[in-house]
Amino acid sequence: MGKSLKHIGVLTSGGDAPGMNAAIRSVVRTCTHHGIEVTGFYEGYQGVIDDNAETLDARAVAHIINRGGTMLRSARCAEFRTREGRQKAYDNLKKRGIEGLVVIGGDGSFTGASLLSDEFDIPVIGIPGTIDNDIYGTDFTIGFDTALNTVVDAVDRIRDTATSHNRLFFIEVMGRDSGFIALNAGIAVGATNILIPEESTELDEVITKLKTGRENGKTSSIVLVAEGEKMGDALFMAEETKKHLPDYDIRVSVLGHMQRGGNPTCADRVLATRLGVAAVEQLMAGHSSVMCGVRNGSVCTVSIHDAISRKPGIDRNLMHIAEIVSL
Ligand SMILES: Nc1ncnc2c1ncn2[C@@H]1O[C@H](COP(=O)(O)OP(=O)(O)OP(=O)(O)O)[C@@H](O)[C@H]1O
Ligand SMILES: O=P(O)(O)OC[C@H]1O[C@](O)(CO)[C@@H](O)[C@@H]1O
Ligand SMILES: [Mg+2]
C-alpha cells in the first residue's frame, strides 16, 4: 500500500454538514502520514472546473476538527452536470497530476463523482456528508448526529414555552426527501406526531392523536414535520388542524438552516475521522467508485452506484416505538 499513489484531490459538495472539516483534516493527515500530496478544491466541483485550489498540509487543517461548515466551502455546481463541465474538471485534475479524488457530500455529489470516473477513468471515493442521513450503505452520515442534537435542543426550548401556554406547536425540520431527522429527534423530544415522507399519514390520524392527548391531560403537544412531508409543510398542517380544532392555541416554527451549523458532536468528529482515513486507504489500495461508510459500528465500503441508486429504509421499529410512547 502507498507505493504508487503520489497526489490526490479532496472537495466538499452539496449542502454543508458539521463534521466535513473533520473529514478534510483526516484525509489530509492520512495523506501526510503516507507521503501523499493533497490538493483541496474550493466550492465543490466549481473549484475543479475553475482550478480554484491549493495544496493542503497537516498544518493547513489544524484546529478545524471542532468547527462547523467546511473550510473548503461548498457549492451546487450546475456546470458539472454537463459533459463539457466534467471535461474541464478532468483536464484540471490531469494538469495538476491528481490521481484520485475524495468527494465529501451527498447523493448528488456522488452521482457527479460516478460520472466523472466512468467518463474519464479517474478514481473517486465518496465520504457521506449530509445532515439528512439519506444515503444507502451507511448507518450514519457525517453531520446527522450534530443536526439531531441541534434540533433536540431547539425543540426542548420550544417545549418550555408550549407547556407554559398550553399550546400545540407544528415544528418543521430539514429533510428534503427524508424523515431521519424528524423521526429520531421526534422520539427524543416526545413528539405527539411525527410526519415523514416515507410514511403516509392522514390528517384525521393527527387530529385524533391530538384530541386523545388532551383528554389524557397533555399540557402541550409537538408535531414534528419533515420538510419533505407529502401532506404539506408545517404551516399548511397547522392551518388544516385549526379548521378541526378551533379552540387549540397553535403556533408554527420552522427551524431552517440553524440545523446545518454548529460545532460537530463527538460522534460526528470520530465518524468523519474514521471515514477520512478509510477513503485514502481505498485510493491507495487501487479502488474506485466506492463510498466509505459505517455499518453496525464498523467501517465498510459500498459501491457508489448502490449508494446513489438505492434508498436507505426508515426504521419501522422506530416508528412503532414512537407510536407507543406518544400517548
Ligand atoms: N446528475 C448529476 N450529474 C453531474 N453532477 C451532479 C449530478 N447531480 C449532482 N451533481 C453535482 O453535485 C452537486 C451537489 O449535488 P446536490 O445539490 O444534489 O447535493 P448533495 O450532494 O446531494 O447534498 P445534499 O442533498 O446533502 O445537499 C451538484 O451541484 C452538481 O455539481
Ligand atoms: O438551502 P439549501 O442549500 O438548498 O439546502 C436545503 C436542503 O439541504 C438539506 O439540509 C441537506 O443538506 C436538505 O434537508 C434541505 O432541503
Ligand atoms: Mg442530496
**Looking at this protein, which amino acid is placed at residue 178?**
S
Q: Is 229 in the pocket of ligand 1 (CB under 6 A)?
A: no
- Residue 45 Cα: closest atom of ligand 1: 31
- Residue 131 Cα: closest atom of ligand 1: 26
Rounded to the nearest 5 percent, the helix, strand and coil shares of the chain are 45, 20, 35
Q: Is 280 in the pocket of ligand 1 (CB under 6 A)?
A: no
* Three cell numbers written together for 77: 455546481
Tell me if 179 is assigned to a ligand binding site: no
Which chain residues have CB less than 5 Å from ligand 3, an ion?
Answer: 106-108
CATH of 2-143+264-309, one of 3.30.70.330, 3.40.50.970, 3.40.50.450, 3.30.450.20: 3.40.50.450
Q: Is 115 in the pocket of ligand 1 (CB under 6 A)?
A: yes
What's the chain's average pLDDT?
A: 96
* pLDDT tens-digit series, residues 56-107: 999 999 999 999 999 999 999 999 999 999 999 999 999 999 999 999 999 9
CATH code for the part of the protein at 145-261: 3.40.50.460
Q: Is 221 in the pocket of ligand 1 (CB under 6 A)?
A: no
Helix, strand, or coil here: 284?
A: helix
Residue in 146, 128, 132, 129 with CA at minimum distance from that of residue 263? 146
Give the start-to-end residue ranges of the domains of the chain. Answer: 2-143+264-309, 145-261
* pLDDT tens-digit series, residues 180-215: 999 999 999 999 999 999 999 999 999 999 999 999
Distance, CA of 62 to CA of 80 (rounded, Å): 30
The CB density around residue 35, as the number of other CB atoms within 10 Å, is 10
What is the ipTM for the molecules in this complex?
Answer: 0.98
* Three cell numbers written together for 286: 487501487
Q: Which residues have a catalytic role annotated?
A: 132
Quote the pLDDT of residue 54: 98
* pLDDT tens-digit series, residues 207-217: 999 999 999 99
Tell me if 117 is assigned to a ligand binding site: no
Tell me if 77 is assigned to a ligand binding site: yes
Domains 2-143+264-309 and 145-261 share a fold: yes
